[in-house]
Amino acid sequence: MESQDWVYSDIVKDHFLNPRNFLMGDESNFKYDAVGLVGNPICGDQMKMYIKVDKKTDTIKDIRWKTYGCASAIASTSALSEIAKGKTLDDALKITAKDIDDYLGTLPKHKFHCSILGHDALKDAIEKYRTVEEKR
């Protein structure tokens, strides 16, 4: 009998099968201001998060991502991209793994780390963006 811990919500399944803001094809086709990259050597997942920032309002105007990971990693990153778009950089940094998990209707407990990877990739992109902007 299958454990309830392995059951995905309909929202997780939808974001896995129909990922939002996924960057298809060549990265050079998306004009981004910064890219964040994180990986988890334990599970082998890797994520790249690309952000386009409205410099006047300091908000995420557009966001795209690529991931090499499981269904939970894909769904989590898709959800995060929806949550973060339109937020200020400061507000985007406040998005937690629990916020992503809640948005998705909860991930299986053993897959919660997938939502942390997306958050870390977004944080890395924002930090890189701010580093470049400080030098200008």
CB 93, CB 69: distance < 8 Å: no
Q: Considering the candidates 43, 70, 93, 116, report the single residue annotated as catalytic.
A: 43
| pLDDT number for residue 44 | 73
Q: pLDDT-based confidence at 6, cuts 50/70/90? A: low
The structure's pTM equals: 0.86
Answer yes or no: 70 catalytic: no
Is the confidence at residue 123, as pLDDT, over 70?
A: yes
34-40/45-54 β-pairing:
antiparallel
Average pLDDT of the residues of the chain: 87
pLDDT in tens, 53-108: 999 999 999 999 998 877 788 898 999 999 999 999 999 999 988 898 889 887 77
Query: Which class in CATH covers the domain with range 4-135?
Result: alpha beta
Answer yes or no: 114 catalytic: yes
Q: Could you tell me which of 99, 91, 94, 128 has the C-alpha nearest to residue 115?
A: 99
* Boundaries of every domain in the chain: 4-135
User: What's the farthest any 2 CA atoms get from each other in the chain?
Assistant: 59
Q: Considering the candidates 114, 117, 121, 125, report the single residue annotated as catalytic.
A: 114
